[in-house]
Structure 1
């Protein structure tokens, strides 16, 4: 092989939440046994990020022969606040935690006031989710905010936003806070997409997506089941009840990149190798490779150098 020519083969394997594969397991198990089965054979019980993921959940086959199936959402002892839009790519660093609470409001939270509202000055308050209020939707098609001059409960407002726009609005930063508060009539307080609950996914996913049946959860149990005949909505039930269940795994994406490097110098020289490797790493980071990924050389029997990702 000409020492001035170097063929580089780079193999990249990526894993993303968009690559989830769902499996329906038609075996009746309690929640703990279902979780153990999923972890032994796949990754975990199913977690979902949005309505599109729900479509994927039901894309495999017809489940009408069963009434319900476990998913990986379970009640815990601590409530915390979320934004209704659960797509992690929607938020830059720190934006999912943005809160503009009114003075003392963050520590003066009433137990049954689990939904967030914004007043015309842009400050946040907690409120009962069954109060009738105007609300603001986010429309992802044109990235706009829409004030809805109809009084609804928080849950009904969310259904309206999902049907006609995208979701109840998330407020990610001060600039958006200013834009959204301008839509609120003086003296009014409106629902935004802020809510709190005491549920966590078994795979520790941070997804805030919820798809409850009306009037659910009603305290029937600590575990969440997917209703298979009720428009794909959720209900709570006792974790000890045997049910079929959904698991998920992650699809691996492999990408091969070929590069030919020509130089007047000997590209097999260790110093030259390091310079080339650094340039390759820079290019891969521009393409989305994590910057903490390590590359190293491996030479095949054919004399081809392959940077290995660690």
Structure 2
């Protein structure tokens, strides 16, 4: 199944016609746009559509298929997109399928909580590393915080206490020290089930808040981890849906399990599997303008001025997508209306 072509939605909007026949003043144009802008806002954002391809292929072959037929292998930015993906088919006879996540040659430290609304510019980069940290020793892909508020890298399998973040209720404590002993992945699953996620640290104030929870000599897990996986389409999403014991080094490519537990596993890239693709569908809105003027409105300078006013009005309403003229068969943009 191939992606649909971008859909164009035509709409009838209010018309403003200067009574004196003069070229439309920019302010009048803004009035015209205010009549139509509510019909544009929210319709221009691209939408993602997922496809399940039940043709067993190695990861690279699946990637080529998705890029030829759609956009790319599936990129997943949150749990809602995972649920949307899994709603496509009845997967009772299929164990797993490729998604677009694959091991890369570069690694980066990032937070378990992938909600971009949670962070402002620069907040994902705040880390109070301890001296000579991170060591980036092979196998040390997770992190702890000590009772001085310093962060260290460590192995992920050690059983430790951990600190969760609770963003669900503003009346409760935001950070919770959990005294159960778990691996990092098990701690992540616990925090996501009972709170929001493992703790993220966005600034010195939050670092101090978490530090105060740590008993003398304690080194609980926090939500920082070193990731060596990246999305096929280059998306920067840090969302991960790993099984608690994954990745275990079984392979460099990532598959979505299609039977419970419906989590992610790393597997050998050459293994033939069905796979998920996605396509981006862009919705367009057509604005119809009627101008009363004794000037040539098809003059390039006049057209550029009008288009600039439209673009500025859209930006003021939070719509950042580009606007362009639709050319008529005769090469012009505007057509003279026949006199009755």
SS at match of 2:220: strand
Please state how far the C-alpha of 1:218 moved relative to its aligned partner. Answer: 2.6
Give CA deviations for 1:186-219 in whole Å, capped at 9, x if unaligned.
4322211111132111111212222222433232
The aligned counterpart of 1:94 is 122
Does the 8 A contact of 2:143 with 2:223 survive in 1? yes
Of the three residues 267, 282, 301, the one matched with 2:335 is 301
Does the 8 A contact of 2:185 with 2:243 survive in 1? no
Please state how far the C-alpha of 1:101 moved relative to its aligned partner. Answer: 0.6
Computing the radius of gyration from Cα coordinates, the structure with the larger value is 2
SS at match of 1:225: strand
Of the three residues 238, 249, 262, the one matched with 1:232 is 262
The aligned counterpart of 1:82 is 110
- Within the alignment, does 1:42 sit opposite 2:76 as a pair? no
Q: 1:125 to 1:275 in 2, by over 3 A?
A: same
The aligned counterpart of 2:5 is none
Q: 1:282 to 1:179 in 2, by over 3 A?
A: farther
- Within the alignment, does 1:171 sit opposite 2:201 as a pair? yes
Q: 1:83 to 1:258 in 2, by over 3 A?
A: farther
Give CA deviations for 1:31-68 in whole Å, capped at 9, x if unaligned.
11110110011111011122222101111221112111
- Within the alignment, does 1:128 sit opposite 2:162 as a pair? no
Gaps of 5+ in 2: 1-16, 328-332
C-alpha distance in structure 2 between counterparts of 1:242 and 1:280, whole Å: 50
Gaps of 5+ in 1: 304-310
Q: TM-score w.r.t. structure 1 length?
A: 0.81
SS at match of 1:37: helix
Q: 1:14 to 1:135 in 2, by over 3 A?
A: farther
Q: TM-score w.r.t. structure 2 length?
A: 0.75
The aligned counterpart of 1:217 is 247
Q: 1:281 to 1:126 in 2, by over 3 A?
A: same
Give CA deviations for 1:202-246 in whole Å, capped at 9, x if unaligned.
111212222222433232221111111132112222211211100
